[in-house]
Amino acid sequence: MADEPISKLDLLAYADGLPDRDPRRKAMVDKAIGRSPELAEELASLIAQTAALRRAYAPRLDDPIPERLSAVLEPKDARHYGGALRAALLCLIMLGSVAAGWFGAQFGSDVPEPGAASDLVDRAYDHATEYPTAAYEGGPDATPGMTRPVSWLANGISLTLDPPDLSRLGYSLVSRKSFLSEDGRVTRLTYANRQGQSFALFLRPRWKSGDIEVNLTRRGDVSVAYWLDGPVASALASDISGDEALSLAEAIRQEIGKPGSAPDREPTPLHTSPATLSENIVSDTPVLENNLQGTSKTIQ
C-alpha cells in the first residue's frame, strides 16, 4: 500500500506530541521526514516553537495565586470562621466517636473509623502488617513511568492527580497498584527512603462533601494517618513513628491539592461487575500493567 502524503497538520500534531496515540501515522511521518530534509526542517521549527511557547508560559504556574482569586472560592468571612467551624465539627466527631464506642461496647461490635475513610484505614493497616519496612530494604528502586498521573473516572467525573513528590522529605515512589473494592477503585502508592523506611499511601475518589483533617490511629506497631479532602479519601500506613506519619500526611495532603502537571485526560471507564469486585488487582491502564509487574515482584 502506498504511503499517504504527509500534511502540515501531521507535522504540527507530531510537534505537539499527539501522534503517540496513532503509531501507524507516527511511523509514516518518521519515514517522510527521514526522506525529506525540508520536512525535517519544518518539523524542527514547529517543535522549537512549541517548546518556546511552553517555556515562556511555564513560570505562570508557580506564581502565587492572588487573594482576589482565592476569595472567590472561599470568601473571607467563611475563612475567618472556618477554623472555629472545623473545631466544632471535630468536637462533634469526637463526641460521636465516644457515643459510637459506647454503643459498640454495649453491643459488642467494632467502632467504625470516621466517615468514608474506614475501608482505607483497614486496608492500609492490613498492608502495613503484611509488608513491614524490612520488605523495602535496599532503598528506592523506582520503575520508569511510575510517576505518571493517577486517573480515576468515578460517577462520570474524571480526576487526575500526580503522585505526590516527596523527594524533599527523602522518600521516592517505589511501587503503585490499583485495586477494586466495594467502594470503588483504590490506588496504592508505596514510598521508601534510603534508610529503608517505607509507607503505603491509599487514595480513593469520593464524591461527598465534608472534609476530615489528618487523624492518626495506632494499631499495635502500625500508625495509620487518614484524612478526607475534597474528592479524595486518603490513608497512610507504616510502622514509622506516629509523629512522622502525621508530618508525612500533612505534606502529602498539600501536594495532592496542587494542580497536576499532566493534561487532565479522560481515563478509560472502568467496567465493574459484582464478580470483579473485592480484591481484584487492576492497573491504571492495560499498557501500564507490564510496568507494574516488575515492581510488584520485589514487594509481594
Partner 1 sequence: MDEVKWLIAREIPRLRRYALTLERDPDAADDLVQDTLERAIRKRHLWSRRGSVRSWLYRILYTVFLNKRPKRLREQGELCLNEHLPPSEPAQQDQRLICSNIVTALHQLPDDQRAPIGLTAVEGLSYEEAADVLGIPIGTLRSRLSRGREALRHLFVEQQEKPHLRRVK
Q: Contact positions toward partner 1, by CB under 8 A?
A: 8-9, 12-13, 16, 18, 45-46, 49-50, 52-57, 60-63, 65-66, 68-70, 72-74, 155-160, 206-209, 211, 229-231, 257-260, 262-266
For the bound state, the minimum distance from the C-beta of residue 43 to partner 1, rounded and expressed in Å, comes to: 12
Least Å distance between CB 107 and partner 1? 33
Q: How far apart are the first and last CA of the chain?
A: 48
Rounded to 10 deg, the angle between the 23-35 and 37-57 helix axes is 120
Which residue, 158 or 272, has its beta carbon nearer to partner 1? 158
H helix intervals, 155-198: none
Looking at beta carbons only, is 8 or 219 nearer to partner 1?
Answer: 8
CB proximity list for 8: less than 8 A, separation 6 or greater: 42
* Nearer CB in complex with partner 1: 31/258: 258
Rounded Cα distance, 226 and 118, in Å: 9
Contact between 212 and 158 under an 8 Å Cβ cutoff? The reply is no
In the bound complex, what is the minimum distance in angstroms from residue 199's beta carbon to partner 1? Answer: 24
Give ∠ CA 94-102-235 in degrees, rounded to 5.
45
Nearer to partner 1 by Cβ, of 60 and 297: the residue is 60
For residue 200, which of 168, 166, 231 has the smallest C-alpha distance?
Answer: 166
Q: How far is the CB of 137 from partner 1 (least distance, A)?
A: 36
Distances in whole angstroms, Cα of residue 255 to Cα of each of 29, 251, 259, 264: 39, 6, 9, 17
Nearer of residues 16 and 110 to partner 1, judged by Cβ? 16
Q: How far is the CB of 158 from partner 1 (least distance, A)?
A: 5
